[in-house]
Amino acid sequence: MSFNHFLFKNIFYLTLKLRREWFIPYLIELEKSQYWTSKELEQHQIARVNRLLAHAKMNTAYYRDRIPSSISSLSELTKLPLLDKEEIRNNVNSFMWRKGLHQRLKTSGGSTGAPVTLLKDSVGTVSYTHLR
């Protein structure tokens, strides 16, 4: 590995860490999870959904009275309310938790009509960018 490559790689990784866009832990988790049994995968998915539900219920006005704090099976996902773009546009402030240093406004292209603007944090942005 040349010195220039070494330097670029380390500056790149340092920049990702400073911007809180470090994707390596997600990559490691994905590499491990590809060998899980279906039962292990389902348990992991339920745990992740429950963390998300608890966070949304506790921190966003929109979901406070609309969703349960947890689920016990993936089939219960069908009971969660669906959102459309109009609902997001009409209640945009009810979805926001807090605007922090590592968050950015992202606007859709509006290909289905009017564009929608969302607030994404660095983790959401890096997850969408690197893991799709």
Query: What is the average pLDDT across 33-50?
Result: 95
Q: Cα–Cα distance between 92 and 70 in angstroms, integer?
A: 24
Dig out the tokens for 23 from the structure.
């994707």
Distance CA 126, CA 132 (A): 10
Task: Render pLDDT for 43-74 as a digit per residue (tens, 0 to 9).
Answer: 999 999 999 999 889 888 899 999 999 999 99
- Measured from the Cβ of residue 23, the count of other Cβ atoms closer than 10 Å reads 15
- Distance (Å, whole) CA 57 – CA 80: 12
Secondary structure element (H or E) that encloses residue 119, with its range: strand 117-121
Cα separation, 85 vs 87, in Å, equals 5
- Say if residue 21's pLDDT is above 90: no
pLDDT band at 109 (very low <50, low <70, confident <90, very high): confident
pLDDT > 90 in the chain, percent:
29
Q: CA-CA distance, 59 to 69, in Å (whole number)?
A: 12
Helix (H, G, I), strand (E, B) or coil at 105: strand
